[in-house]
Structure 1
Amino acid sequence: MTSDIKLHRYFQDWMNLYKKDAVREVTYRKYEMTYRQIVSLAPDLRMCELSRLTYQKLLNDYAKTHERQTVMDFHRHIKSSLIDALEEGILERDPTRKAIIKGKKPGPHKTKFLNQHEVQLMLDSLSLDAGVNWDYFILLITKTGLRFSEALAITPNDFDFARQTLNINKTWDYKSRQAGFAPTKNFSSMRKIQLDWQTVIQFSQLTKELSEDKPIFVRSKVYNDTINHYLERLCKKSGIPIISVHGLRHTHASLLLYAGVSIASVARRLGHSNMNTTQQTYLHIIQELENQDNNKVMKHLASLV
Structure 2
Amino acid sequence: MGAYKDESKNGTWFCKFTYTNWKGEKINKKKRGFATKKLAQEWEQEFLNEQSGTLEMTFKEFFEVYKRDKKPRIREHTWKTKEYIVNTKILPYFGKIKMNEIKSITIIHWQNELMEKRDDKGQKYSPTYLRTIHAQLSSLLNHACKYYNLKTNAARDVGSMGEKEANEMLFWTQEEYEKFISAIKDKPQSFYAFEILYWCGLRIGELFALTKEKFDFENNIVKVDQSVQKLNGEIVITPPKTKKSIRTIVMPEFLSREIQEYLSGFYKLKDKDLIFPISKSYLHHEMDRGCKKASVKRIRVHDLRHSHVSLLIELGYSAIAIADRVGHESIDITYRYAHLFPSKQSDMAKSLMQLRDNSNKPSWDELLNDEEEIDV
Structure 2 length-normalised TM: 0.71
- Alpha-carbon distance in structure 1 between the residues aligned to 2:184 and 2:347: 36
Residues 1:238 and 1:13: Cα distance change in structure 2 (over 3 Å): same
SS at match of 1:167: strand
SS at match of 1:57: helix
How many aligned residue pairs are there? 295
- Alpha-carbon distance in structure 1 between the residues aligned to 2:246 and 2:147: 38
Report 1:64-213 matches (<5 A): 64-65=116-117, 66-87=125-146, 91-103=150-162, 112-127=170-185, 132-208=188-264, 209=266, 210-213=269-272
Q: 2:334 aligns with which of 266, 279, 295?
A: 279
What residue identity is the alignment partner of 1:31?
K
1:299 shift after superposition: 8.4
What residue identity is the alignment partner of 1:213?
K
Contact 1:145–1:252 (8 Å) recurs in 2 = yes
Partner of 2:102: 50
Q: 2:71 aligns with which of 16, 20, 30?
A: 20
- Alpha-carbon distance in structure 2 between the residues aligned to 1:176 and 1:71: 24
Name the % identity: 23
Contact 2:134–2:161 (8 Å) recurs in 1 = no
Contact 2:193–2:207 (8 Å) recurs in 1 = yes
- Alpha-carbon distance in structure 1 between the residues aligned to 2:69 and 2:182: 50
- Alpha-carbon distance in structure 2 between the residues aligned to 1:152 and 1:89: 41
1:4 shift after superposition: 3.4
**Aligned-residue CA RMSD in angstroms?**
2.7
SS at match of 1:121: helix
Structure 1 gaps of 5+ residues are none
Contact 2:181–2:290 (8 Å) recurs in 1 = no
Structure 1 length-normalised TM: 0.86
- Alpha-carbon distance in structure 2 between the residues aligned to 1:107 and 1:204: 37
1:116 shift after superposition: 2.1
- Alpha-carbon distance in structure 2 between the residues aligned to 1:296 and 1:103: 38
Residues 1:89 and 1:262: Cα distance change in structure 2 (over 3 Å): closer
Q: 1:30 aligns with which of 76, 81, 90?
A: 81
For structure 1, which segment, 182-191 or 95-104, has the greater mean C-alpha deviation from structure 2 after superposition?
Answer: 95-104
Contact 1:26–1:176 (8 Å) recurs in 2 = no
Report 1:213-228 matches (<5 A): 213-218=272-277, 222=279, 224-228=280-284
- Alpha-carbon distance in structure 1 between the residues aligned to 2:241 and 2:166: 28
Q: Once the two structures are superposed, what CA deviation does each residue of 1:234-283 show, in whole Å capped at 9, x if it has no partner?
A: 012112111111111110110110011121111011011x2111112212
Structure 2 gaps of 5+ residues are 1-48, 118-124, 361-376
Q: Once the two structures are superposed, what CA deviation does each residue of 1:122-154 show, in whole Å capped at 9, x if it has no partner?
A: 2333316x6x51221111111100000001111
Residues 1:247 and 1:84: Cα distance change in structure 2 (over 3 Å): closer
- Alpha-carbon distance in structure 2 between the residues aligned to 1:295 and 1:213: 53
For structure 1, which segment, 64-73 or 166-175, has the greater mean C-alpha deviation from structure 2 after superposition?
Answer: 64-73
Residues 1:291 and 1:92: Cα distance change in structure 2 (over 3 Å): closer
- Alpha-carbon distance in structure 1 between the residues aligned to 2:136 and 2:284: 29
Q: 1:237 aligns with which of 293, 302, 324?
A: 293
Residues 1:89 and 1:157: Cα distance change in structure 2 (over 3 Å): closer
Contact 2:184–2:286 (8 Å) recurs in 1 = no
SS at match of 1:173: strand
Q: Does 1:5 align with 2:57?
A: yes
SS at match of 1:19: helix
1:25 shift after superposition: 1.1
1:18 shift after superposition: 1.7
Structure with bigger gyration radius: 2
SS at match of 2:171: coil
SS at match of 1:180: strand
- Alpha-carbon distance in structure 1 between the residues aligned to 2:242 and 2:141: 26
Contact 1:52–1:99 (8 Å) recurs in 2 = yes
